[in-house]
Amino acid sequence: MELLIGIIIALIVLVSLSIHEYAHALVASLFGDDTAKHAGRLTLNPIAHWDNVGTTLLVGLIILRSLGLALPVFGWGKPVPIDEGKFENPRWSSFNVAIAGPMSNFVIAFILAVIYKLTDGGTFIDSILILSVNLNVFLGLFNLLPIAPLDGSKLLRLFIPEELYINLHTNPLLFYGMILLVFWFLLTPLQIFAQNISQFLLG
């Protein structure tokens, strides 16, 4: 049963990641950058968004954790290629492209919460809907953190000098320091906040 739950969680994450990355590609295309479209990323097919390292690691850790191994779960989808040179306003367009991913997760969570409230799918179906809402709220919030290379860093870019923004992406000490900051201090509060939002949506 635990393995089945792990597989279901992995599938939910894969679908959510695919919609997340598709949203990036779609908004980039709307703002004039067709790089992602020509790369085959303007699709909901999970295979197109599968990162050989990040997604394989994510799915593998989810399955292993479902088997009882106390392992941290982390990973990522394949980044959507963006050519800022095709945007009229690179900062503003890049922000919209970045924010589209987390917003897609919040939309998924809201739709599934409405379905949960309107239907009586039985204990198992209800559990899947609740889990899907929780995961998508968490994914959306996590990606909004203003830390490179997360989507939220594009929000930070609107308020800091471009040189500092580039330094945050390229300086190894700053990059890994922020990653450690997230996992040591922010992850648990973020999970609690995501659960509270999910409970509110689910009523």
Give 12-15 contacts, CB < 8 A, sequence gap 24+. Answer: 12/128, 12/131, 12/132, 12/135, 13/58, 13/59, 13/62, 13/135, 13/139, 14/46, 14/55, 14/59, 15/46
Q: Which of 67, 11, 78 is nearest to 43 (CA)?
A: 78
89 SS3 class: coil
Q: Which of 134, 171, 99 is nearest to 16 (CA)?
A: 134
146 SS3 class: coil
63 touches 3 (CB < 8 A): yes
Torsion angles phi and psi, residue 149, rounded to 5: -100, 25
Q: Which of 54, 145, 163 is nearest to 154 (CA)?
A: 145
Choosing from 21, 84, 88, 162, the catalytic residue is 21
> In degrees to the nearest 10, what's the CA dihedral of 29, 98, 42, 35?
50
Catalytic residue check, 21:
yes
The residues annotated with a catalytic role in the active site are 21
